[in-house]
Amino acid sequence: MTLAAADDVILEVRDLVKHFPVGGGGLFGGPPAVVKAVDGVSFAIRRGETLGLVGESGCGKTTTGRCILLLERPTSGQVIFEGRDLTTLSPAEIRIVRRKIQVIFQDPYSSLNPRMTVGQMLDEPMAVHGIVPERKARRERVRELLAVVGLLPSMVGRYPHELSGGQRQRVGIARALATEPSLIICDEPVSALDVSIQAQIVNLLENLQEQFRLTYLFVAHDLSVVRHISDRVAVMYLGKMAELTDRAALYAEPLHPYTQALLSAVPIPDPDVEARRQRTVLGGEVPSALNPPPGCVFHPRCPIAIDACKGAVPDCREVRAGHRVACIRA
């Protein structure tokens, strides 16, 4: 990846690896097996942009986000945020960085504490990080945050069970904003919401990005939403980066056969368009990350695989300016 101005980069992930040992080691176990959730992933995010990270369940997109948040310790690799490698920081230093990197979770039902009011949930992060030390000022700030995410001030005393799904996700967003972060990891922020509410939340995220110059890593499986919100898009498959490029290039000219299949699988809400469409339906299923295939991890399902694909693991190489693909046939 060529990065014209290095200081423009807010986050760089280099060769990120996260392996989870499973089973084994016990009385009857052999050597522990390893789930290669993330297996050598690299990308950078520029300040103020949205990088979409897409892929199917088990591809490692959520684990990548969790490693950036240091909710998981990477097995190896570097997570460089504003010039500092987070993997080398002490717990005290991590706490300071956490303020600048926040997260919005998928499920607004399980990610809010059911025994705290909306006001308490927004107050706490500001108190913990000492952002607004004075209690009265914090109360004022909570009201501001509610207004920013489109909630009425009267919501302050409500508990999560009194809120709809869309309202809860707004609270989750307000909580992320409370620490004045520069980077927000959005982990499937709309996929648990009703269709009619999803667009509201997507618009809100876009407006907030403009207003506060936020940077997003937008982790999602819905390719239509990702196209709408992202400046660049990264596609993962079985722990590896398959393709990474500008939004326009990825959707107009996907180079990786997996990206092509993924795009063709998305149904378009128009029966006439659907009737005319040529589709590639992928055979088979995503193999287990416990025992990924040798060579290119996609070769068993790939419609254009050749013998060479079974041998060497393809590099995610730059084939055009700013367009990286892990496919020897691209």
Partner 1 sequence: MNDRVSSGALLDVRDLRTEFTTGGGVVRAVDGVSWDVRAGETVALVGESGCGKSVSALSIMGLVARPAGRVAGGQILFKGRDLLELPEDDMRRIRGREIAMVFQEPMTSLNPVLTVGRQITEACEIHLGHTEAQARARAIEVLRLVGIPDAERRLRQYPHQFSGGMRQRLMIAIALSCSPDLILADEPTTALDVTIQAQILDLMKELSRSFGAATLIITHNLGVVARYADRVNVMYAGRIVERGTAREIYANPRHPYTLGLLRSVPRLDEPKRERLDPIQGQPPDLTRLPRGCAFAPRCAFAIERCRAEAPPLQSVGGSHLSACWVAQDLPQRSALSPQPSGDGEEIPSSRAQRGISR
22 interacts with partner 1 by CB under 8 A = no
279 interacts with partner 1 by CB under 8 A = yes
**Concatenated DSSP letters of 248-312:** HHHHHS--SHHHHHHHHHSPPS-HHHHHH----PPPS-PPPTTSPPSSSTTGGG-TT--HHHHHS
- Helices 118-128 & 165-177 angle (0-180, nearest 10): 20
| Closest to partner 1 by CB, 102 or 167 | 167
134 interacts with partner 1 by CB under 8 A = no
The structure tokens listed for 30 are 């052999």
The structure tokens listed for 249 are 């290039």
Q: How far is the CB of 196 from partner 1 (least distance, A)?
A: 4
Q: How far is the CB of 222 from partner 1 (least distance, A)?
A: 8
Q: Are 244 and 324 in contact (CB under 8 A)?
A: yes
- For partner 1, which residue of 168, 240, 247, 299 counts as binding (CB under 8 A)? 247
Q: How far is the CB of 189 from partner 1 (least distance, A)?
A: 13
CA gap 238, 236 in Å, rounded: 7
- For partner 1, which residue of 102, 106, 111, 198 counts as binding (CB under 8 A)? 198
CA gap 247, 243 in Å, rounded: 11
- For partner 1, which residue of 5, 27, 281, 321 counts as binding (CB under 8 A)? 281
| Closest to partner 1 by CB, 247 or 256 | 247
270 interacts with partner 1 by CB under 8 A = yes
CA gap 234, 259 in Å, rounded: 10
- For partner 1, which residue of 6, 30, 57, 321 counts as binding (CB under 8 A)? 57
- For partner 1, which residue of 76, 110, 113, 203 counts as binding (CB under 8 A)? 203
CA gap 292, 286 in Å, rounded: 9
CA gap 196, 191 in Å, rounded: 12
Q: Are 109 and 96 in contact (CB under 8 A)?
A: no
Q: CA end-to-end span of the chain, whole Å?
A: 17
- For partner 1, which residue of 33, 197, 313, 328 counts as binding (CB under 8 A)? 197
| Closest to partner 1 by CB, 30 or 269 | 269
Number of residues that bind partner 1 (CB under 8 A): 50
- For partner 1, which residue of 76, 110, 224, 291 counts as binding (CB under 8 A)? 224
Could you list the residues that contact partner 1 (CB under 8 A)?
A: 56-57, 150-152, 164, 166-167, 170, 194-204, 206-207, 221, 223-225, 227-228, 247, 251, 261-274, 279, 281-283, 285-286
